[in-house]
Structure 1
Amino acid sequence: MNYWWRRIALSLVAVLALVLVYAGLYQHGMATFEGENMSYYEALQFVVEALTTAGFGGDSSDWESAATNLMVIAMNLTGVLLVFLALPLIVVPLFQQALQDRPPEETDLIDHVVICSYTPRSDVLAEELEAANVPYVFIDDDPELVVELVNDGIDAIYGELDQEGTLRAANTTEARALVTDIDDETNAMVILTARELSSDLRIVTVVEDDDVASYHRYAGADDVVRPRRVLGESLATKATTTVSADLRDTVEFSDDLAVTELLVQDHSDLVGQTIPESGVRDRMGITVIGAWFNGEFVPVPGPEHRIDGNTILLVAGQRDDLSELKARTVSSVQHRRDRVLVGGSGVVGHTAAETLAADGVSTCVVDLVEQEGVDIVGDVTDEDVLEDAGIGDSRSVILTLDDDATTIYATLVIKQVAPEVEIIARANETENIPKLYRAGAEYVLALSTVTGRMLASVLIEDEEILTPETQFELVRTAAPRIAGRSLGDVDLRAKTGCTVVAAERDDELLTDLGPGFEVRSDDTLIVAGSDEAINEFVALATD
């Protein structure tokens, strides 16, 4: 709004200068061409009347020369021009500015979650909170973004993130928790300000650098979430398990039940088959919870879905059976197994390289900046840099870049230079995951997914997210709204796309759950599926 006031002030100064100049010219012209002497103030009055078209009949009988009449015509045209210029340049924009939505600066929500600020990572957390019926409000210092969020039906307010007045306006003293996910320094300021307002408020902070976690706790944070480190470890683990028959990236509940995701490689035994043809269900007794085909989750893969090198199976069963299935997903073509190229040496890339080294895997780290741990300084999208880094001798590439567009482009380049090399990629926004699969990546995990799940697991009572670091979501949760009904009656898989893989009842784990299994009010269900499917289940079955 200050911009418009400056614009108006400059326009008024310009018009005033024009009026004063015209008054001097008119006084001089009347004396020179018409022989009429008048004061400067009389000339000024005439110019104002001429420019505003308020009338100037008193002097018209004195205009006998062509020069005087041309001067008056110029003044009249100038007045009309000023009117036409003022409308589009000042008047109309001012009306538009006045009519434009102003961002709200306070909320009356209670028992809510205050989130500072809105980022692409926030969408997953917001979806988790909405599914659990937990109210929330975003605080952001971008007024246009706040207006956009409000117009989309999302509670948001405008304000400076680390100011006490803003946190009071967000009704922080009546909130169940505050989440701050900005940057490490600003997060610390928000924590200190929030802690001054309330000693009981639960404060959750997201850190980029592990070294600052202790500072945030000292400032007053109750929970510190480190999604970048978790993401780096997960990507590294995926790189070390895709060519092995060993099950490492697995959640085990008992000898009879484990849940895992299996990446099917090109040239493996399963490629080209459908799930029914593979015999996974019938001959191996494994429950196929669902599968990702080029980034799209299908809860019940049918004969129209054929397994290829971009398929990821989400399965549950006994560990020995899953190990047998894992062996069928490994390529029959031998790759060099002791070398992984890591693109990017931020927190995610550095953690991935450390994890691989701890597992005895040789790495080569490529980054634009020369720093500790970087082997090749250069652009991972440059073919010459990839050749220097030994892309042809590498079994996998882990891309941990900060920009999704660069990651997608790097994937395309790598697939042209070394088509047989497996690509495991970090995405920042979930909406870019399908693009990375189409570009040729074999496995993609988004930072927003890991961050949102880790935060939701801290904030949502009666729901424990067991797999924040995988593409699938596995939760332990109560389901009071379906108590007294059988699984077949509720038909959760058809309605939500997720699968109940087990139930905890009276300290006993029940794994053989058929359609006739009746859910009790005190049961805790273990449910698996995609993020969207789990959110559908939580909305349907929980309070």
Structure 2
Amino acid sequence: MNNWWRRIVLSLVAVLVLVLVYAVVYRAGMAIFEGASTTYYEALQFVIEALTTAGFGGDAADWDSPQMNLMVIVMNLTGVLLVFLALPLIVVPLFREALEDRPPETTDLTDHVVICSYTPRSDVLAEELEAANVPYVFVDDDPELVVRLSREGTDAIYGQLDQEGTLRAANAAEARALVTDVDDETNAMVILTARELSSDLRIVSVAENEDVASYHRYAGADDIVRPRRVLGQSLARKATTTVSAELRDTIEFSEDLAVTELLVQEQSDLVGQTIPESGIRDRMGLTVIGAWFNGEFVPVPGPDHQVDGNTILLVAGRRDDLSELKARTVSTLQHRRDRVVVGGYGAVGRTAVETLADDGVETFVVDYAEMPGVDIVGDVTDEADLEAAGVDESRSIILTLDDDATTIYATLVLKQVAPNVEIIARANEPGNIPKLYRAGAEYVLSLSTVTGRMLASVLIEDEEILTPETQFELVRTTAPQIAGRSLGDVDLRARTGCTVVAAERGDELLTDLGPEFTVLEDDTLIVAGSDEAINRFVALATE
């Protein structure tokens, strides 16, 4: 706004100077070329009439010399040029700037979550909060981003993240929590500022580097989320279990109920069959909650979906039955050497290597930078470097790169260099997960998804996210809006795409839930499905 007024003042001063100078020039011209005497005020009146093209006429009969006529022509042209130049260069931009949306700088929200900085990771958190009907406001130092978010209907305010005035404007003292997810140094500044503002405010910080967690805690953070470590562990566990018949990474609730996701290998006996043909439900007594086909989640797949080498099954049932199914997902061919190549040695890659080493798996690390732990300085998109890393002799490769475009390209190259190697990839943005599956990856997990889920699990009191590090979401939540109704009556699968796999009623865990099962007010439901399906369920059952 100050810039807007400054431009107006400068423009008016320039016009005023021009008018005063032209009045002096006109008086001199009339005296020299016409021998006529005019007062300064008469000259000033003429100049204003000429520049505004309002007409003059009074002195026209006195202009006999060509010099005076040329002077008047120049003055008239100047007036016309001022009009035509002022409109596009000054007036129009001033009006446009005046009409532009200004980024909001305050909010009236209370009992809300203040999210410092807008990122794809915080976008996932926002979706979880919306599903749980928890208000939130983004705080960002990019005014254009804040304007765009506001236009889209998202609560957002503009301000410097580490300034107390900004947090006051975000009404942080009246918030239920503050989340800071910028970078490790800025997060520390935000934590200190927020703690100075309120000693009772719950502060949740995202730590990129494992070593800074203690500093954030000392600065005043109540909870610290370390998604890169969780992501690295999860990707490594996928590499250690994909060719093993042993059942791992299972969420167990009782002897009669466990939930897991199973990656179907290319040469397993399930490939080419539909779920009904496989006998998973009828013969083995397992519940297929859903399946991912090339990155697309399909709840309760039917005869239109054939299992292939990229299919991931989400299954619930007895552990013994799940172990039997796990054996069927493993390739019938002889397995490759127990060796995993890791592409990228950042926080995620290092954690993956540590996890694999704990399981006795040999690793080989490729990274751009030379550092301890890197076996070859190279590029995972370069065929020669991949061959030097022995990727074609390895069981799988874990791609833990910071850039999704590079990860996608590396996946395409790997399918040419080593078509039989198993590709387990990290994605930064959830929207790139389907692209990685189409490129040929067997398993993909998003850093944004892991971060958003972990934050949501900390912030949402009525919902516990049990599986932040998997492709599916498994939550423990109440469902007051469907209390007194049967599952068949509510028809949750059709309406939300997720499945109620169990119910906690007092000290009892109920697992055999048919359509006639009636939800009671004090029941806690265990629900599984994709992120979108779970959000639809929470919105339906809790709002």
Q: TM-score, normalised by structure 1?
A: 0.93
Letter paired with 2:396:
S
- Alignment match, 2:267: 267
Cα distance in 2 between the residues matched to 1:46 and 1:370: 78
Give yes or no for the alignment of 1:320 onto 2:323: no
1:481 CA drift (Å): 2.3
- Alignment match, 2:371: 371
- Alignment match, 1:216: 216
1:208 CA drift (Å): 0.4
Tell me whether 56-65 or 324-333 shows the greater mean CA deviation: 56-65
Cα distance in 1 between the residues matched to 2:530 and 2:219: 36
Cα distance in 2 between the residues matched to 1:3 and 1:239: 57
Cα distance in 1 between the residues matched to 2:385 and 2:43: 76
Question: How many corresponding residue pairs?
Answer: 543
**Distance of aligned partners of 1:385 and 1:17 in 2 relative to their CA distance in 1, 3 Å threshold:** farther
1:9 CA drift (Å): 6.3
1:368 CA drift (Å): 2.3
1:124-139 alignment, distance < 5 Å = 124-139=124-139
Give deviations 1:170-226, integer Å, cap 9, x for gaps.
221111111111111111111111112221111111110111111111111111111
Cα distance in 2 between the residues matched to 1:418 and 1:209: 33
- Alignment match, 2:420: 420
**Distance of aligned partners of 1:372 and 1:12 in 2 relative to their CA distance in 1, 3 Å threshold:** farther
Structure 1 counterpart SS, 2:120: coil
1:234 CA drift (Å): 0.6
Cα distance in 1 between the residues matched to 2:341 and 2:18: 69
1:425-444 alignment, distance < 5 Å = 425-444=425-444
1:409-488 alignment, distance < 5 Å = 409-488=409-488
1:49 CA drift (Å): 4.2
1:403 CA drift (Å): 2.0
Cα distance in 1 between the residues matched to 2:380 and 2:41: 74
1:42 CA drift (Å): 7.6
- Alignment match, 1:76: 76
- Alignment match, 2:192: 192
Structure 2 counterpart SS, 1:306: coil
**Distance of aligned partners of 1:521 and 1:51 in 2 relative to their CA distance in 1, 3 Å threshold:** same
- Indicate the percent of aligned positions where both proteins have the same amino acid: 84
Give yes or no for the alignment of 1:153 onto 2:147: no
- Alignment match, 2:181: 181
Cα distance in 2 between the residues matched to 1:18 and 1:333: 89
Letter paired with 1:172:
A
1:95-106 alignment, distance < 5 Å = 95-106=95-106
1:322-401 alignment, distance < 5 Å = 322-401=322-401
Structure 2 counterpart SS, 1:526: strand
1:451 CA drift (Å): 0.8
Unmatched segments (≥5 aa) in structure 2 = none
Give deviations 1:25-47, integer Å, cap 9, x for gaps.
76776677556688999877755
**Distance of aligned partners of 1:24 and 1:411 in 2 relative to their CA distance in 1, 3 Å threshold:** farther
Give deviations 1:335-368, integer Å, cap 9, x for gaps.
5332222222221122112212222222222222
Cα distance in 2 between the residues matched to 1:336 and 1:526: 38
Cα distance in 1 between the residues matched to 2:134 and 2:82: 56
Give yes or no for the alignment of 1:251 onto 2:242: no
1:59 CA drift (Å): 4.0
Tell me whether 51-60 or 6-15 shows the greater mean CA deviation: 6-15
Structure 1 counterpart SS, 2:208: coil
Cα distance in 2 between the residues matched to 1:50 and 1:158: 47
- Alignment match, 2:172: 172
- Alignment match, 1:288: 288
Cα distance in 2 between the residues matched to 1:96 and 1:141: 23
**Distance of aligned partners of 1:40 and 1:360 in 2 relative to their CA distance in 1, 3 Å threshold:** farther
- Alignment match, 2:536: 536
**Distance of aligned partners of 1:5 and 1:347 in 2 relative to their CA distance in 1, 3 Å threshold:** farther
**Distance of aligned partners of 1:270 and 1:84 in 2 relative to their CA distance in 1, 3 Å threshold:** same
**Distance of aligned partners of 1:412 and 1:63 in 2 relative to their CA distance in 1, 3 Å threshold:** farther
Cα distance in 2 between the residues matched to 1:28 and 1:362: 95
Cα distance in 2 between the residues matched to 1:378 and 1:5: 55
Cα distance in 1 between the residues matched to 2:466 and 2:454: 9
Cα distance in 2 between the residues matched to 1:499 and 1:311: 19
1:541 CA drift (Å): 1.9
Question: 2:4·2:97 contact (CA, 8 Å) conserved in 1?
Answer: no
